[in-house]
Amino acid sequence: MSGKPTILIVEDEAVISMMLQMEMEEAGYAVVGTASTGAAAVALQKATQPDLILMDIRLADKSSGLEAARQIRAGGRVPILFITGYDTTERTAEVESLKPSAILAKPLNMEELRLTIAALLRQGQ
């Protein structure tokens, strides 16, 4: 790789996934893959060992990004930034139990996204 921090994007909406990939690359990160299901996210994480994961909470196969995160965390401590179109307050406790992690609501504010990613990457070191 190029020495850039690596990011795995787990998002079931193709347009949002593409937008996130473009934003991450523009911000200087290397996107190592995209997934739309929990099983694909777990497999890609094992294969690519990203520095950070952007994880939607509700995925294409009706699986939970939170469950995928628990499976991923069983094998290591990668920072996870959860993104959701739903109320974040009901998920905050679950997200906080998966440290280092954070949660942002859609529609995403790109500046807030970049600042949160930078903070999580620092915490994950």
Whether the pLDDT of residue 94 is over 70: the answer is yes
The whole-number pLDDT of residue 1 equals 45
- Confidence band of 96 (pLDDT split at 50, 70, 90): confident
Compute the average pLDDT of residues 73-84.
Answer: 89
Compute the average pLDDT of residues 36-53.
Answer: 96
Q: Minimal CA–CA distance to 102: which of 87, 119, 77?
A: 119
Least confident stretch, 18-22, 114-118, 121-125: 121-125
Going from N- to C-terminal start, the domains of the chain cover 6-123
- Confidence band of 4 (pLDDT split at 50, 70, 90): very high
pTM (global) more than 0.95: no
Is residue 48 within 8 A of residue 23, CB to CB? The reply is no
- 6-123 topology per CATH: Rossmann fold (3.40.50)
Compute the average pLDDT of residues 4-9.
Answer: 97
Residue 120 burial class via C-beta count within 10 angstroms: exposed 0-12, middle 13-18, buried 19 and up: buried
